[in-house]
Structure 1
Amino acid sequence: MPVPNKTLLLFIVLIAGLAALHACSEQQPVTYESLIEKGLDSGERHDTLFLGYHFGMTRQDFQTSSWEMNREGIITGLTKVEYTNRDWLPFEAYIEFFPDFEDGKISRLPLDIHYRDWAPWNQNRFSDSLATELAQHFAQVYGQDFHWMFLPEADREGWFSVRGNRAISVWRRDDMWVRAVFRDLTVDADIPEGR
């Protein structure tokens, strides 16, 4: 049996390499829209939020749960819930939130967060650090990969992740505050988050 010609062998290796390169170049980049589409197409449901709240929770159940946590000193407020977080992040954080309801059930939960000891001279307490630390925490807790990208609802760049129906956006509002929004994509994938 004749030994293959070196030129023919080189040609075959070159063609295989070009085919592999072409296959890699055809992979779609991760975009905001592609993450939403992939999450919705999965058919998975992930309703967990935090502090026992979840998508689909009725307004009455939210108020009852909040009232109980208020009595226990975990949270304060009712029209704007205030929570001091001492566990998720490297530094104590102040969180304000109140859910949006669709048909009487939680469909979206915006959080406004800042480090308690934020000050202009505390660079490691600025919102850029906090946003990254929140995205890392949420990735660990919810098992979601976060991507840095342009967020149309915030009209700025930030962290974004989708797992099934649950989308989480995290972005820097200013030097002090971070906005994080959980939203149920099965209720409305186009609810503006920047409010």
Structure 2
Amino acid sequence: MNLRIYILPLFILLFNCSESKYSKLVKAEMAKKTVNDSLFFGMKFGETKQDFFDQCWKLNKQKIISHGSSNNFVKYILPLKNQEEKVNTITMLFYGIFNDEKIMTGMDMKFYYESWSLWNKSYHSDKLLPVVKDSLKSWFPGNDFINVPVKETNEILYVKIDGNRRIVIEPLKSDKEVDVRIDDLRHILNEKL
């Protein structure tokens, strides 16, 4: 799959939101020259695809992660908070985004409630989204998320930028999953030029 097909339209969508709050935030954060390369589980932007596989293998042997459905993602069950019921268990699927040189430039993530069902609206993605947003703010402290309207669809992206690290919570595509993408803006902006 050619990731440029997905990265470029997302970047164009975000960047064309008139000299908006988003554009100003990108410029301000990139001007700081702060490098935030840490992701999670010791993974970082700039690592090789083999580094990613090796770390996943190690975490799998420790029974921290497993393979997701269709082996397209790595599966991690988020720990429950104090007094939280098992029905609130959240699964995070993730997989690195790599450039042509097999260097990690981002991370695709999906979140869903293990107890999700079509008829149980308490566990639908619109209820999960604020929980995911809070978790991401906790894992990646710094700036808050801003709302970025997508003109073509009237949908909202939630975007958080800290230095070169951009986190995008995409508009909900299903009742089940919340899709998140973490990108290294140094790579995205260089690709655009």
TM-score between both structures, scaled by the size of structure 2: 0.74
Identity %: 23
- Correspondence for 1:72: 62
Q: Which protein is bigger by CA-based radius of gyration?
A: 1
Residue 174, structure 1, aligned to residue 164, structure 2: no
Residue 146, structure 1, aligned to residue 136, structure 2: no
Matches within 5 A, 1:5-154: 31-77=21-67, 79-87=72-80, 91-102=88-99, 103-143=101-141, 144-150=143-149
Q: Once the 2 structures are TM-superposed, how far is the Cα of residue 162 of structure 1 from its aligned partner?
A: 0.2
CA RMSD of aligned residues (A): 2.7
Partner Cα separation in structure 2 for residue 88 and residue 185 of structure 1 = 32
Q: Once the 2 structures are TM-superposed, how far is the Cα of residue 104 of structure 1 from its aligned partner?
A: 2.3
C-alpha contact (below 8 Å) 1:32/1:151 kept by paired residues = no
What letter matches 1:92 in structure 2? T
- Correspondence for 1:186: 186
Partner Cα separation in structure 2 for residue 104 and residue 155 of structure 1 = 35
- Correspondence for 2:15: none
Partner Cα separation in structure 1 for residue 173 and residue 131 of structure 2 = 15
TM-score between both structures, scaled by the size of structure 1: 0.73
Q: Once the 2 structures are TM-superposed, how far is the Cα of residue 122 of structure 1 from its aligned partner?
A: 2.8
C-alpha contact (below 8 Å) 2:111/2:132 kept by paired residues = no
Q: Which runs of 4+ in 1 moved over 4 A?
A: 87-90
C-alpha contact (below 8 Å) 2:91/2:112 kept by paired residues = yes
- Correspondence for 2:162: 163
Aligned pairs, number: 163
Partner Cα separation in structure 2 for residue 114 and residue 124 of structure 1 = 12
Structure 1: unaligned runs, 5 residues or longer: 1-28
